[in-house]
Chains A and B, each alone.
Chain A
């Protein structure tokens, strides 16, 4: 049986993001399973605080849920740094198989240990580069470029290692810093580059696919445990429904965003497979440097699984 429950889900992204599409599908599923008793209330654009603040609030049981990118959480669950490793995944399918399988469960256990129930891995997608200087085709093209990165050491090291000047900067300052050319480049999924209007102040778009970061649908463990098993199961099942819709929506929107930005006059290029391999090769020092802090077993695990997957194809 189900109680009347309304829970708040905090989002850093705006309501036009596919996360919203996914949450709508999830709500439809919840309505069916709970007879309309369980309601989600989405908060957008970080109106309940940034991803990190919202996640801390969820851990403390101050609020029920957050749909956050994995990168800001590395400070509390170092293993999540695995998603920040450069050029780890090649296709979304590779990432899905890893995240929805036993490897994803291993990470979920670590999240559980800090008071977070991960209901599912939604898609943020491959991160690509935009800049105001030149097309990026090989790693040498990064030389001397001022790149905004998230406040995250793996990203910092990845770009510094390519000879760029990586500058950590909060998301809210990126537009004006790009506009004023205080920085040259930024990296994000296409949808974000589009919806945050970064493309209006950039000239080149290069499909580097240097990292695949997921969104995590995190529920407060304290609150989750107070729900009945039926309610918990409904939440788990419907998050999966929402996840599949969101993944499809974001793939579609990524394509649309790319088209739109090309139409707006950005010069777009992809990276030749050989150059992509060279970038990965060059990045091995970053893997070595961060392996211990992420957890050697985690990094080895994911690489072994990927190898198995790729061999099977």
Chain B
């Protein structure tokens, strides 16, 4: 008798399973599965936190009190962000860091690409070497730089002979002098991300049609004329793309600050990303941080849309053959 019950149960279970799998394998059901999974992920990790951030930005709440005591307080958080000089100072500093870093990354990356493009022998080797910094995990890069910048570290050792000539104390305190610390962070960013601009420019150089350069040569153009009249104008799209991509990334600069200076000395190396992190995770000012990040989102969005507009305009110009 027991045998027949288990048999019946298994038939029942199998029936249910097969009915379920039959239901799933209908096309009208099945075609929703990938969609639901992707969209579900999207809602879970983007939409919900984003909605919560907006909600929290209108609350009066600090994480050292229970959430039940939080209450809506209108735009008060936004008012205090606008009134907060720390926010604006760090935002200004971010633009300063990003601007300086991106300018150097573009110039150095451009010249490296120009040189590597002309190498025929061992080109792969140089490309590999020059791309390594980009592949290094930012935390590792930051940690390495924290050692390079030690008072008795390798950077000062290398600089010492030169500095002695000018009677400058060779123990430059890279991370505790405000200006030196700012440039220490910019330098770390340049080291890591010049690889990317190099890569963009190298692909730009490789995409230059050789016939155009030959045509210029046959017409007697010098190397300089060919570069400024033919190659550089044709590289404009690559330049715009490099500027936009690097600027977007550099405005979010965070890792080198945490790893090298913790925003110090004082607040001299606080970027806006670091400032937000500190307000929220160190001072528990959740609702203030939420409001500040929403404002930052608006400011950066405007910049990014402008960047996308520039890339798009460049793309259309290429289609029209104007480049």
A and B are interacting partners? no
Q: Which B residues have a C-beta under 8 Å from some C-beta of A?
A: none
Q: Which A residues have a C-beta under 8 Å from some C-beta of B?
A: none
